[in-house]
Structure 1
């Protein structure tokens, strides 16, 4: 008898297939363990099969064997894959519920919760928690677990109702794997994480030409999948993107090749490192639309800096906007509130650290400024003009803080040479390092901190379906996402210090804003130049896309994702823009929590649940880890999703 037939006969056993064993899959297993502690006897018989070709627990991104040079993008105090601290008030803990910081303290006595650990270290945490969870699940009566290092390449329905109904419990799913095996399951949890994606038209053109001309093109990829060792020493390399993947490439191509950073503690921030090349480094020439790298995170304590308080973007204000307007529009109803909190935080910090800038006492200005901010009839542009008038009256040497222009620091600035632009970049890096090092005494970083705090609250509003889809397309995807990512999602300060040192050493150069990447067939090279810099194009035989694969299900090269769409078992979430035109969203169409997959006909698939990145059309910021101690509605939303899926599956089992 085949495995499929054997499983069909075992009608009293509920088979759960967990596709993806990285952080999201591990969270689901931990939540399943927690739920089993609270269900009545007799416990249903469960068979749990976990499938992932990568190491189970860390997955590909958090491989414990990756270079120790790769750092996390959050402090140790932030991430978790299980409820910890105050989160346990909303989500009951399991026997293994432990945050990364708790695990570090228990394992090595490490108490530096504000530092930025290696990604390999976090991967070991994930591996340990996954192993402990699987062990405790397998120790329970009636529960069997199995781990398979294989990739699921297809999923189809077998028997039962095709689209829910009273006989939905009879619906089963057959999963095909790349090793030729099949598995039939009653419930499927899709926790896929990052998957390969098709290239954009422009990127595909560069890739095709690279083949024709014998050039080297590296597409968007997880940093550990980029073959940095293959780049010859001294080779010019064009890099597109100056986000987090860029910093990984930068450090692996320099310190990873024997270069050394000498610490100069007596120097001011931005000049505290000096780079000593090994001679094996390539020459990196980096560019991005904004013309600058992501700004460094502040050294102020806390993921959201301590002391940040939102007084305008509050639940009460949001509810009032909903009462008046029914559906929330980001630009009209939410951004004005967020913007006011950013301004209030900036000027209150400035008044506290530099009261001498306010000759008539800072309290006088702050009182008048608060009254201006509290006037709901003052729009963003009027607010800027009237705010500048107040500054001129009370603090004539203080400039208006324009958070939007901070996201594009070189807008409308023309550079008459590459050297001129490099000098400006160094000044930018040194200024950013100084403001990060100042911590809570930096008005800029505290203003950004308020923006970051608002983002965490906005995530919950979007996930709850309270923000119009047209506004999400036009405003959040259109401009706000890139603004907040570039300002609040940057690397630790260490990386900006390193980049400044590498720039001074001539190892890294920059293209300038809005660079154009092309191919020069005459010289048989890639070329890149910025319209804002009066300089000859940079030419190179190598071009690396320093970014992750596109997180859009319709661009996915995953056989499973592409197959689900092709076979009609899934569809992309439809979003309607401001013109009324329907367009495909980034993620799958799913039901409300627990997020069950919706097929092409609009019917939910009973028993198929989606977690993580492929929820990006109904959630914002799906790549961000769960926050230790966070609210299950916002910072710990990924844990709440996993909890809901586990609870739903067990309720189905109890109903058999």
Structure 2
């Protein structure tokens, strides 16, 4: 269930295995998703101004080489290749409400640009139609627009219950996304206040579903959060309301207001938006070879004897290596880069190697200043910070010291997953160094928006459309005025009020508080369990994830539920970084996992499945 990228890839793996093996006399594949193909995140008719966070040449749904899988490899167009080949005709054949914008987009799209989420949704619909052409007489594939309420084990299979149907199944793959949670005490208080005063309060949800239809021009709106959902909200309230941008003589972006924009007041605890992504100037399949967090070093640690501190240090040294490699080339041509970097790798104290080199102190890589921009004295304002972020991003991944260093996180994804899925850390170190420190650094430094969004934010600050509060954002209610109130600890004397408050972030992954009826049923019936860590002092800590066996993706703990698989976002915490779409040109974890699940299903000795 789930008809987004993971569900589609799983369907493709089933079809291709059946084509080769003819294992089943009749194979019925039913994809269940209330939103249809593309799922909730990728509808074609969402606001076209919303863009992806990954370049189009780095998105695919085909399991092709160099993926190491059991099933057949089948080549096909990645998102960019499709946009430049079959997309135009496909879009013209379908009655999309934003058809004209999509047609213009595919003609203008660059390999290292950023496609609209609408276009990725169309790609997924094209892929589904392509899958129909791969069916032989033993197979059928269909999509049901239903919400799954229950999965009930029965005999040698399962019964899947939706709002109106009971469906028998021999195997169930649950590929779910983000789900809303029960409100926290603070959210409930704010929600009650909003209902009492007839205000608008938006709890964490999918940003493309924000309803701003009653928000009037010049009216204020408070956005709490400066992450990706914040940028989506700002885009819908500016570009989505007819605003535009142009370049001035100095190549700076300037905002042209439509007059329909509200006043956007935004902030967060940190007070700074996520770092923008560096300009992609290398092939999507290009990945740096690790020097510290190597596969051999990871595999040498058995029985969870890896030090969490050493793990995070090695991640840091990989990032620093990428930084100094580019910095020397850019600013220190007199330094023998090969010799210095080789010493950096071999030293027991790589920082000391840098300190003894000709590199100026001001150019040393400083983790504290990166993670906490307020600690860097050169930034007198958030505007200066954004300008610096834009400049470093424009230097590109290949030559830019900071842009290249931040991209190193992406190059280490598989290495980090080896640590997580191999359970190499003690639960205490897993909580402190991976769920704590690494996630904190990675989310701020590496998964931010495309550079253009940072440029747009800088222009909107100049235009007076957006106001950033500063660090330590606070939100409360004002009973006297009947409105929401916000300010920052950095500037407590300046307070703003609004009748609109948006929690600009996705729902947290939390099986304990989720509203998803299927997850609740699986937990209450003890078919699934919450993942928890066993900490020192006989303490237990729930991660929010649904427990799965990391080798099979089964939701097994005290007993095995054969051919009942749980995969994707709700396992975040048990797995690591479960939101990414599949990537071409690498041994991609999404494609490998789909193939692993399907291969196990095909090992069943039965002669039919549904």
TM-score by length of 2: 0.90
Corresponding residue number in structure 2 for 1:16: none
Q: How does 1:263-302 map to 2 (within 5 A)?
A: 263-264=247-248, 266-267=249-250, 272-302=252-282
Q: From 318, 331, 334, give the equivalent of 1:354.
A: 331
Paired with 2:226 and 2:508, the residues of 1 have a C-alpha distance of: 16
Indicate conservation of the 8 Å contact 1:465/1:618, yes or no: no
The partner residue of 1:471 within 418, 423, 429 is 429
Per the alignment, residue 125 of structure 1 pairs with 123
Identify the residue that residue 508 of structure 1 maps to in structure 2: 466
- Which residues in structure 2 correspond to 1:379-390 (within 5 Å)? 386=352, 389-390=355-356
In the alignment, the residues of structure 1 paired with residue 69 and residue 556 of structure 2 have an alpha-carbon distance, to the nearest angstrom, of 31
Distance 1:46 1:606, change over 3 A: same
Aligned CA RMSD, in angstroms, stands at: 2.6
Q: How many matched pairs?
A: 588
Q: Which of the residues 76, 80, 83 maps onto 1:104?
A: 83
What SS does the aligned partner of 1:206 have? helix
| Deviation at residue 370 of structure 1 after TM alignment | 4.9
The question of 1:142 aligning with 2:99 is answered: no
Partner residue in 2 for 1:45: 26
Query: Mapping of 1:27-106 within 5 angstroms?
Result: 27-40=9-22, 43-56=24-37, 58-87=38-67, 92-94=72-74, 97-106=76-85
- Determine helix, strand or coil for the equivalent of 1:228: coil
Which residue among 387, 400, 403 is the counterpart of 2:364? 400
**How far does the alpha carbon of each residue in 1:396-429 deviate from its partner, in whole angstroms, 9 at most, with x for none?**
4634211243022114879xxxxxx9x6111111
Q: What does the per-residue CA deviation read over 1:406-458, in whole Å, with 9 as the maximum and x for residues that have no partner?
A: 022114879xxxxxx9x611111111111111113321112222233224421
String of CA shifts for 1:77-119, please: whole Å, max 9, x gaps.
112222134226765224x744323322321586732111111
Alignment of 1:320-339 (within 5 A): 320=300, 322=301, 326-329=303-306, 331-339=308-316
Asked if 1:157 is matched to 2:153, the reply is yes
Distance 1:463 1:79, change over 3 A: farther
Contact 1:573 1:584 in 2 (8 A): yes
1:564 CA drift (Å): 1.3
> What TM-score does the superposition give when structure 1 sets the normalisation length?
0.84
| Partners of 1:436 and 1:493 within 8 A in 2 | yes
Structure 2 match to 1:629: 585
Q: Which residue does the alignment assign to 1:220?
A: 204
Partner residue of 1:425?
Answer: 382
Indicate if the aligned counterparts of 2:483 and 2:497 stay in contact, CA closer than 8 A.
Answer: yes
Q: How far apart are 1:344 and its partner, in Å? A: 2.2
Q: Quick check: 1:300–1:306 contact (8 Å CA) kept in 2?
A: no
Structure 2 residue matching 1:595: 3-state secondary structure: coil
Deviation at 1:196, TM superposition (A): 2.2
Structure 1's unaligned 5+ residue stretches are 1-18, 161-170, 415-420
Which of 560, 564, 569 aligns to 1:613? It is 569
Work out whether residues 227 and 448 of structure 2, in 8 Å CA contact, stay in contact via their aligned partners in 1: yes
Q: Contact 2:112 / 2:280 at 8 angstroms: preserved in 1?
A: no
Deviations 1:333-389 (A, max 9, x none): 212222222222222211211127xxxx3228x74575355333x4xxxx65x4674
Q: Does structure 1 conserve the Cα–Cα contact (< 8 Å) formed by 2:552 and 2:596?
A: yes
Q: Distance in 2 between matches of 1:612 and 1:97?
A: 23
Distance 1:250 1:578, change over 3 A: farther
Say if 1:308 and 1:446, in contact at 8 Å, map to a contact too.
Answer: no
SS in 2 for 1:293: coil
Deviations 1:189-210 (A, max 9, x none): 1112222222333222222222
Q: Structure 1 residues 213, 330: closer, same or farther in 2, change over 3 A?
A: farther
SS of the equivalent of 1:112 reads coil
CA distance in 2, matches of 1:444, 1:341: 13
Q: Equivalent residue of 1:80, what SS? A: coil
Looking at structure 1, the residues matched to 297 and 601 of structure 2 have their Cα atoms a distance apart, in angstroms, of 37
1:499 shift after superposition: 0.5
Question: How big is the shift at 1:22?
Answer: 1.3
- Gaps of at least 5 residues in structure 2 are 89-105
Inter-CA distance 577–281: structure 2 relative to 1 (3 Å threshold): farther
Q: Which moved more, 1:114-123 or 1:229-238?
A: 229-238
Q: CA contact under 8 A between 1:470 and 1:577: conserved in structure 2?
A: yes
Alignment partners' CA distance in 2, 1:116 and 1:132: 24
Match of 1:594 among 542, 552, 556: 552
Of the three residues 177, 187, 205, the one matched with 2:162 is: 177
Shift of 1:230: 2.6
Gap change, CA 1:390 and 1:641, over 3 Å in 2: same
Q: Are the structure 2 counterparts of residues 132 and 315 from structure 1 closer, same or farther at C-alpha, using a change threshold of 3 Å? A: same
In structure 2, distance between residues paired with 1:83 and 1:142:
22
What is the deviation of 1:462?
Answer: 1.3
For the pair shown, which has the larger CA radius of gyration, 1 or 2? Answer: 1
Say if 2:554 is the partner of 1:554: no
- Describe the SS at the equivalent of 1:606: coil
| 1:135 shift after superposition | 4.4
Match of 1:9 in 2: none
Question: Is the 8 Å Cα contact of residues 243 and 547 (structure 1) preserved in structure 2?
Answer: yes
Deviating more after overlay: 292-301 vs 515-524 = 515-524
Q: Which residue of 2 aligns with 1:315?
A: 295
Question: Deviations along 1:162-188, whole A, 9 cap, x unmatched?
Answer: xxxxxxxxx22222211x221122211
Distance 1:491 1:516, change over 3 A: same
Q: Write the distance in 2 (CA, Å) between the matches of 1:85 and 1:172.
A: 34
- How many angstroms apart in 1 are the aligned matches of 2:195 and 2:470? 27
Match runs of 1:532-571 below 5 Å: 532-533=490-491, 535-571=493-529
